[in-house]
Chains A and B, each alone.
Chain A
């Protein structure tokens, strides 16, 4: 019992420690260790700013370990020189042992040389072992570090409101929650889902089920009009792919976030599988160990998928109804772009006069525009937030969230609830997934760079559905208005009423 308590504490202290090993065919990460060694203070501060306290000393440790490694390298070099010298001596001894004069004296000399060679070989082996262990630890520490933050990202915990969509709705009645509306109009069934699956699941009924399809079709059509490519990805992914994208099985607080699929006994040797919490994972995974051609960048894809989130530790009054669920449909945007010209603007944290916007920022802004278009045309009142460093997670360098207004949640955080997110991940994911870009500027045939990846929510069905229900509710007629833009996919229905 005491041991289990201790083990759990250790696990909580090191929530980011990898609890699995990377399978042999997994992409090999290529972290920019030189940059970390040259800027340990930057990475330390970044960890503190992002609330990654346990990783704050990693960069310094990496520096230390690198110096140890260099020492080992030096020792190894000198030992190898000695070894070479010995070998030459042995060769001489061997040729001389043929002389009648040599006798026991030269055999003795040869034996002692052999002895020395054996000892040297052992010591060299030990040094090589230590070098490998040091490299492994350096890589492990480096992999734990979150991405650096962009210049736009406010430090700390407070997001910055940078805009609004539509007007605050006026109403002269007590707001109804989507749970009530869903019960009254026979649109949502939580009780039956509690029977089949437990808390955090739901059945969408009648017009709500049709609205889900309409929302998917609508968001896809918005992207198609802007020449995005539609993809339908799997929800089942290798756990190592999810981890490489920045999704660890447990979050910074040690809470389970990802559902793992149990391996059958006979499959225990195969890489582990999980359910993706976002299509970002399989979409990013499409280009693992691939080389993208510059002419195809930016590569922009959008896809609908079923998403699964364990959300352990998230249950409470704050999370009733559709607001926080374990399973839902989401349409996700993902893009690969050229990296910016210089390293300094790669992270944007200490760039100076780089007038051209990095391609990743251009794509990021396009995504946010699309999100604003979609949410605005659905008639929702929203606010746009530049997210602070503590909210960015592992892979994002910059994040913008859009929160919709939920009349029933006025008492919680003023009624605001996140409905979309957009992130620039710079080269964090591409370095871990082995995605390269062949660019003209880096020497044509041989020149490969790390592309930047960008991702954003086009449509998270449950929350947008809940927002539509609460905002479209008409108390006098006891009906729900269907947003005009969705009606083509709803068979023309304008209002949902009981019965």
Chain B
């Protein structure tokens, strides 16, 4: 005779139902390895402001997660109610225990032992349910994107903050695409890469390959002279580090944006932001060492699923490229109340107060934009600076400023503007997930331990800048491309012009 199925109590069945229904949107159940940093989320703030988090999800186009905060509140209330019951049960258990000591035998003792056993079982059941509920709450909280800053426009429309190199797009640039220029000057080869690797890859040739090196060194020099430290990271990272930085295996649309390595728990980072953020995981930084500002080049890989189209020809959207990235760890702003900073509480109400001194994170954010502006200005490119709207922020950013350069060949698409840099403030979103803390000296204005605030920004994304330089530097008459003055010292022979009677 076959053995009966194992007994599953109704509470456990309900928990299982909860777990199953919340997995409706993510196919792959993601598990964190035991040695990964343990996230510490501000569940109290979520419970106290469920409507805020719901609205935030809607604003950010994270609709599937809009109910998460309410669900967390619900689960918490169940846990609290259960805990109250457990207190009563424990009291009864204590009473029983005392009574049992007095009795020696008999029916009364036997029935009391029965009751005590049942109580013990019930308490164990409660513990199990509580643990599941805690795990579920953490999972729901991890899915929530960061809250949005006051600067961030709600919706899908960015706000123009300013321009670089003139207020309007330059005239007389023609409309030759960098693909054509690249072909005529033997600078780009997409056919070879289609054979070796498929769509979305490319070979840079001759002066284009040299420009790549020059652009990297130039970008590094701009930050170095402002005291930034250079740091070259790996591109292969643990997938849990990518997730903790805000790059989940699947994005809001269920698409995979990250390449995974078979048989390993490694992924290819789409930006140096991931290894940079991960480098300080499980560390406590002394506040006097902050802000810690690093810049470094790395090879970046992006699956860009769902992005292929006419809009993405040539170097405009590629799977693999070199990028120089800036990253900073800053001291969190102090909450207005206490001198002891509480890890559990305190979203940055300090930022909301008008006239408040800017936080360290804001200062670094502004500096990053200043570096980006300097680079694009010196490269002679016309660009516009945008305050990005809520739907564009992704998971980790509270505020994002993009700079879009002008591409003469793309005037039909978005007036020719295409993103070349991005800068994001992530508050403590990443630090809470990577367990990066800041320690304040005792006796100072602040004391205790808090989570760091992280900031990141693009210093140089090679393919698009290269494409912009080719299109904007193209001279139709001579069939040549001018090399921007600032780059010449990084080019062999201080090359000033590409094409036109080269040997």
Contact = CB atoms under 8 A, between A and B. Distances in A.
B18 interface: no
A303 interface: yes
B197 A234 contact: yes
Interface in A154-192: 189, 192
A413 B474 CA distance: 55
Nearest to A210: B230
Contacts of A273: 197-198
A206 interface: yes
A189 B279 contact: yes
Contact of A209 (B231, B237, B260, B299): B231
A212 B220 CA distance: 13
B319 A213 contact: no
Interface string A318-345: 0000000011000000000000000000
Nearest to B503: A227
Interface string A192-222: 1101111001111110111011001100110
Contacts of B209: 230-232, 303
Contact of A202 (B234, B282, B299): B234
Interface stretch (A281-289, A419-427, A468-476): A281-289
A60 interface: no
A479 interface: no
A221 B492 contact: yes
Nearest to A303: B209
Interface string B232-275: 11111110010000000000000010011111101010000011
- Most chain A CB atoms below 10 A, which of B198, B233, B268, B274: B233
Contacts of B297: 213
What's the dominant secondary structure at chain B's contact region? mixed
Contacts of A304: 213
A261 B492 contact: no
Contacts of B473: none
A208 B229 CA distance: 11
B205 interface: yes
B262 A197 contact: no
B205 A193 contact: no
Contacts of B305: 264
Nearest to A262: B260
Nearest to B217: A213
A204 B231 CA distance: 6
B229 A286 contact: no
B189 interface: yes
Contact of A196 (B205, B233, B259, B301): B233
Interface string A272-316: 010100000110011111000000000000011010100000000
B217 A489 contact: yes
Contact of A197 (B192, B205, B275): B275
A410 to B, nearest CB: 29
B189 A286 contact: yes
Given A205-B229, A264-B256, A195 B278 contact: yes
- Most chain B CB atoms below 10 A, which of A197, A201, A285, A327: A197
Interface string B329-362: 0000000000000000000000000000000000
B203 A231 contact: yes
Nearest to A27: B195
Interface in A221-252: 221, 224, 229-238, 241
Contact of B197 (A189, A236, A303): A236
A196 B241 contact: yes
Contact of B234 (A203, A231, A281, A285): A203
Given A217-B217, A261-B259, A261-B260, A235 B320 contact: yes
Contact of A289 (B195, B217, B234): B195
A220 B213 contact: yes
A229 B206 contact: yes
Contacts of B268: 261, 275
Interface in B405-422: none
A303 B282 CA distance: 38
B260 A203 contact: no
Nearest to A234: B201
A357 interface: no
A327 to B, nearest CB: 5
B145 interface: no
Contacts of A282: 193, 196-197, 203
Contacts of A270: 198
Nearest to A204: B232
B245 to A, nearest CB: 10
Contacts of A233: 193, 196, 203
A210 B220 contact: yes
Contacts of A198: 238, 266
B198 A213 contact: no
B234 A193 contact: yes
B263 A256 contact: yes
A212 B299 CA distance: 14
A206 B230 contact: yes
Contacts of B301: 236
B202 interface: yes
Interface in B147-189: 189
B320 A234 contact: yes
B201 A209 contact: no
A264 B282 CA distance: 32
A217 B213 CA distance: 7
A327 B236 contact: yes
Given A196-B279, A209-B230, A237 B196 contact: yes
B196 A195 contact: no
A383 to B, nearest CB: 30
A197 B217 contact: no
B55 interface: no
A237 B319 CA distance: 12
Given A205-B231, A264-B305, A232 B208 contact: yes
Interface of B: 189, 192-193, 195-198, 201-206, 208-210, 212-213, 216-217, 220-221, 224, 229-238, 241, 256, 259-264, 266, 268, 274-275, 278-282, 296-297, 299, 301, 303, 305, 319-320, 492
22 contacts: A196-B237, A196-B241, A197-B278, A198-B266, A203-B279, A205-B231, A208-B232, A210-B220, A217-B213, A220-B210, A231-B206, A232-B209, A236-B319, A260-B261, A264-B256, A264-B305, A275-B261, A281-B196, A286-B195, A306-B299, A327-B234, A491-B224
Given A205-B230, A288-B196, 17 more contacts: A193-B233, A193-B279, A196-B238, A201-B234, A205-B229, A206-B230, A208-B232, A210-B220, A220-B213, A229-B206, A233-B196, A235-B320, A238-B198, A259-B236, A286-B189, A306-B235, A491-B224
Nearest 5 Cβ contacts at the A-B interface: A285-B196, A196-B278, A192-B279, A232-B204, A306-B299
